[in-house]
Amino acid sequence: MLVDLRRCIGCHACSVACKVEHGVPLGEFRMRVRWMERPDDGRMAFLPVFDGESCDYGRDRARFGLEPACVNACPTRALDLIEAKGAPAEAKPLERPGSTRADVLYLAHEPWQETKLNAGAALHPEDEDILYEQGPR
């Protein structure tokens, strides 16, 4: 999976499409979008991540020539399932994948995002689950 973070607007269309396609229960995710505050100016940044255990990049859909539900739903074409050999040279995996599949390649990700991702507690509070997933607070 190639993720162009310059295009991601954090809309969650990908994670919602994934949940609908695969019937993923509340509170569980095969892929999700982490929201993070930039350390320099507090603006939000977004990092789609893919679960190494459950995400199979839409194998069932591929049998019918369809792209993964997340890719199909993304309004900005931030996601693309590509042949590894076709990846742009500047696309990189996270150094310590942890919360995402090791074969996800990111364009324009910055080191602080990975630090926050692995720290967990430093994520933006709204990131933990999208609101409709959380139910009453």
Chain contacts with ligand SF4 (rule: CB under 6 A):
8-14, 33, 46, 48, 73-74, 76, 78-79
As given in the structure block, the two tokens for residue 14 are: 């990908």
C-beta of residue 115 within 8 angstroms of C-beta of residue 10: no
The nearer residue to ligand SF4, 48 or 68, going by C-beta atoms, is 48
The nearer residue to ligand SF4, 13 or 104, going by C-beta atoms, is 13
Cα 97 from chain centroid? 12
CB of 9 to ligand SF4, least distance (A): 5
CA distance 57 to 44: 26
Give the list of residues 6+ apart from residue 92 with CB closer than 8 angstroms, or none: 105, 106, 109
Instruction: Kindly give the residue spans of alpha helices, DSSP state H, lying in the chain.
Output: 13-22, 59-62, 69-73, 111-119, 131-134
The nearer residue to ligand SF4, 8 or 117, going by C-beta atoms, is 8
The nearer residue to ligand SF4, 70 or 114, going by C-beta atoms, is 70
